[in-house]
């Protein structure tokens, strides 16, 4: 069988979605501690009784946002294979990592020492739910985030970096990434005694990689607070998204079909190891239903849920959120 030509290459990470057990505590950490902006306060469209919070740079730029589904009082994840085990953000320069080390010390954020992984200086830390995070020095490569808040512009988070996975068997994930998504292996390194393969999206770079570690001895992960639900990859527009649908069908990878999330349009795929990947368009964007200056200030609902606003708001727990420091 001759496969159709690949669509335009994926443009890097779009967003990463995680589970939190406490939305108010989560909001305090990501706005006050990390200096991100709450750009959308909404609900889980598939289960509107829970919040879905989006944090990003000052403009809500694709590739800068980390999102959280609120599962009150959820137990923490059981860490293991076939899961996302590292979510990273890019900063630039040794001074930025020094700033964040001092800031984490002052604010009581659990963290490690700055050390070199895959040729770049990293600072590993955890949020209050135990989500495994890293800041790393991108050397000035990749897109620059729009500054927000009171932190010095030179130390602010520039956007998402790579996502790190652990799998028990690399082969099926490799086949999916290379054949299904058109990624390519660009290098390998060792992580805690396990081989890690780096796959590049499009032109690659620190904002456009997936790092897959093969660790057959680990137990299987179980989701909970702090676990990543899915990683979304950037697609230029609706036309390209539909081209990806044709390609996925031709390569035999089942998917959700096109899903209208109002602020972007998506396709969800589960790789053979169970990892959930989303393809998401850059537009229409978070300012499609709110003024850019007022993003995240009110509960925003997609049109298909608007008629249920009164019921949804009545069942949501009040969130007393204060932006920034």
pLDDT value at position 318?
A: 85
Question: Is 8 a member of any domain?
Answer: no
Instruction: Compute the mean pLDDT over every residue in the chain, rounded to the nearest whole number.
Output: 96
pLDDT in tens, 51-96: 999 999 999 999 999 999 999 999 999 999 999 999 999 999 999 9
pLDDT in tens, 239-252: 999 999 999 999 99
Question: Is 122 a member of any domain?
Answer: yes
Q: Can you say how many angstroms the Cα of residue 172 is from the centroid of all Cα atoms in its chain?
A: 22
Range of the domain at 222: 13-315
Please state, in angstroms and as integers, the Cα–Cα distance from residue 261 to each residue in 10, 154, 253, 284, 298, following that order. 19, 33, 22, 10, 18
For residue 142, the 8-state DSSP code is: S
pLDDT value at position 251?
A: 95
Question: Is 323 a member of any domain?
Answer: no
Please state, in angstroms and as integers, the Cα–Cα distance from residue 215 to each residue in 66, 119, 123, 184, 233, following that order. 26, 21, 22, 20, 24
Please state the rounded mean pLDDT for residues 139-143: 96
Question: Is 239 a member of any domain?
Answer: yes
**Token pair for 103:** 């800031």
pLDDT value at 3 more than 70: no
pLDDT value at 324 more than 50: no
CATH code: domain of residue 150: 3.10.180.10
Question: Is 306 a member of any domain?
Answer: yes
pLDDT value at 26 more than 60: yes
Q: Tell me whether strands 184-191 and 228-235 are parallel, antiparallel or unpaired.
A: unpaired
**Confidence band (pLDDT; 50, 70, 90) for 325?**
very low
pLDDT value at 37 more than 70: yes
In the chain, the number of structural domains is 1
Please state the rounded mean pLDDT for residues 253-260: 98
Question: Is 293 a member of any domain?
Answer: yes
pLDDT value at 6 more than 90: no
Closest Cα to residue 62, out of 239, 240, 245, 237? Answer: 237
Question: Is 273 a member of any domain?
Answer: yes
- Asked if residue 252 lies in contact with residue 206, where contact means CB atoms within 8 angstroms, the answer is no
pLDDT value at position 317?
A: 87
**To the nearest whole percent, how much of the chain has pLDDT over 90?**
94
pLDDT value at position 5?
A: 74
Q: Whole-angstrom distance between the N-terminal and C-terminal Cα of the chain?
A: 58
Question: Is 282 a member of any domain?
Answer: yes
Please state, in angstroms and as integers, the Cα–Cα distance from residue 288 to each residue in 39, 279, 294, following that order. 12, 20, 12
**To the nearest whole percent, how much of the chain has pLDDT over 70?**
97
pLDDT value at 4 more than 80: no
């Amino acid at each position: 069988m001759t496969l159709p030509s690949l669509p335009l290459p994926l443009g890097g990470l779009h967003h990463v979605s995680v589970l939190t057990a406490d939305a108010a505590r989560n909001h305090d950490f990501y706005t006050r501690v990390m200096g991100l902006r709450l750009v959308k306060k909404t609900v889980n469209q598939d289960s509107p009784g829970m919040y879905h919070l989006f944090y990003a740079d000052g403009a809500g730029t694709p590739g800068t946002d980390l999102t959280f589904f609120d599962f009150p009082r959820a137990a923490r994840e059981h860490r293991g294979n076939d899961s996302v085990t590292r979510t990273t953000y890019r900063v630039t320069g040794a001074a930025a990592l020094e700033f964040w080390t001092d800031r984490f010390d002052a604010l009581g954020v659990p963290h490690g020492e700055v050390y070199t992984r895959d040729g770049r200086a990293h600072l590993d830390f955890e949020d209050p739910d135990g989500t495994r995070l890293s800041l790393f020095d991108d050397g000035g490569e990749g897109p620059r985030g729009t500054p927000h808040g009171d932190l010095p512009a030179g130390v602010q988070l520039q956007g998402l970096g790579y996502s790190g996975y652990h799998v028990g068997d690399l082969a099926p994930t490799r086949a999916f990434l290379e054949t299904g998504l058109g990624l390519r292996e660009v290098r390998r390194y060792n992580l805690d005694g396990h081989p890690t393969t780096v796959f590049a999206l499009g032109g690659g770079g620190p904002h456009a990689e997936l790092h897959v570690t093969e660790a057959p001895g680990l137990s299987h992960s179980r989701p909970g607070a702090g676990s990543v639900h899915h990683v979304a990859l950037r697609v230029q527009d609706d036309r390209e998204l539909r081209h990806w649908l044709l390609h996925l069908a031709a390569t035999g990878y089942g998917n959700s079909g096109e899903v209208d999330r109002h602020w972007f349009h998506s396709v969800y795929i589960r790789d053979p190891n169970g990892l959930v990947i989303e393809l998401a368009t850059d537009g229409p964007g978070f300012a499609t239903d709110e003024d850019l200056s007022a993003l995240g200030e009110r509960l925003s609902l997609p049109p298909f849920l608007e008629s249920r606003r009164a019921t949804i708001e009545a069942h949501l727990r009040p969130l007393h959120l204060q932006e920034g420091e």
